[in-house]
Chain A
């Protein structure tokens, strides 16, 4: 089973990972704001993640750790 860990404090909310996810599991959080003042990324359904790391490949800030 795949596991994603986000270093949300460094997220700039650019959304490149959201568009890279082939399963459309990522979104920018509407409720939370991080230290930098951005809406950080969050995953909607961890169970459905296939651990392909596409999001991590497109993240310009290296905030995503992928485990499988």
Chain B
């Protein structure tokens, strides 16, 4: 009996990601959720700009490529025009937290009935490792060779905490995939985000802390440990908003 295989919602195209990049794990979790909910045929994904720009090659569902940061705006249009389809956007931190900040905040404030998968790896991966809005204080990047200095560059943006202050969003959770246990929790969160959309509850965002071994200058294993040691203390895991759970209590 096959207990684990590549999900149907992923194509056979090999991922172009660097060795040890957790984008592949998150792609698979999203695809497994599409399989389990049986929604692959009516799902429309919005690909971002960044490392995962070619996500449309990997997911078996319909995909649209959005301009940098505009995925929630494109998703809004797709969902409003086709309310019966399931719409998700898959965005990195340079895409969602930097140039797409306005689109993200307003989609959340409007409680658009879409699912956003937000990959936070604290760096601009595809362009070569520049400082992102989510880079940690003291983190060495191409554009902060002496470490991020908050006097000059401010402090990293905590998206889940920030959006949780809004009345709009339905569900916000931060997870990571640096161990099997955490990956299982991440899958549960992603599944809930899609179930919320199917139930018409509104805006669900899952922030996944991800690794970038190449631009962090670490081995894949050390990068996973760096998530535990440096990222989770600043970006604590957990549910930041879950309106339906609140109403049940």
A interface, CB within 8 angstroms of B: 10, 12-16, 19-20, 38, 51, 53-54, 56-62, 64-68
Q: How far is the CA of A54 from the CA of B184 in the complex (A)?
A: 10
Contact indicator B2/A66 (Cβ below 8 Å)? yes
- Closest Cβ of chain A to B143, distance in Å, is 26
> In the complex, are the beta carbons of B3 and A38 less than 8 A apart?
no
Nearest-neighbour CB distance to chain A for B187, whole angstroms, equals 9
Closest residue on chain B to residue A9 by CB atoms? B14
Contact B5 A60 (CB under 8 A): no
Say yes or no: A61 contacts B3, CB within 8 Å. Answer: no
CA–CA, A65 and B5, complex, Å:
5
Q: Name A65's contact: one of B4, B180, B213 (CB within 8 Å).
A: B4
Pair B220/A16 contact, Cβ less than 8 Å: yes
Which residues of B are interface residues toward A (Cβ below 8 A)? 1-7, 10, 14-15, 17-25, 28, 179-180, 183-184, 213, 219-221, 224
The residues of A that contact B10 with a CB separation of less than 8 Å are 62
Can you give 19 A-B contacts (C-beta < 8 A)?
A12-B18, A12-B19, A13-B19, A15-B221, A16-B224, A19-B221, A20-B179, A20-B180, A38-B19, A53-B3, A57-B25, A58-B180, A60-B24, A61-B14, A61-B15, A64-B4, A65-B4, A66-B5, A67-B2
Contacts of A20 in B (CB 8 A): 179-180
| B6 CB contacts on chain A under 8 angstroms | 62, 65
Min CB gap B91→A, angstroms: 18
In the assembled complex, which residues on chain A have CB atoms less than 8 Å from the CB atom of B4? Answer: 53, 56-57, 64-66
Q: Give bound CA distance, A58 to B28, whole Å.
A: 10
Asked if A61 meets B180 with Cβ closer than 8 Å, knowing A14-B19, A51-B3, the reply is no
B15 to A60, Cβ gap below 8 A?
A: yes
Q: Tell me which of B17, B18, B184, B221 contacts A16 (CB under 8 A).
A: B221
Nearest neighbor of A11 in chain B, beta-carbon distance: B19
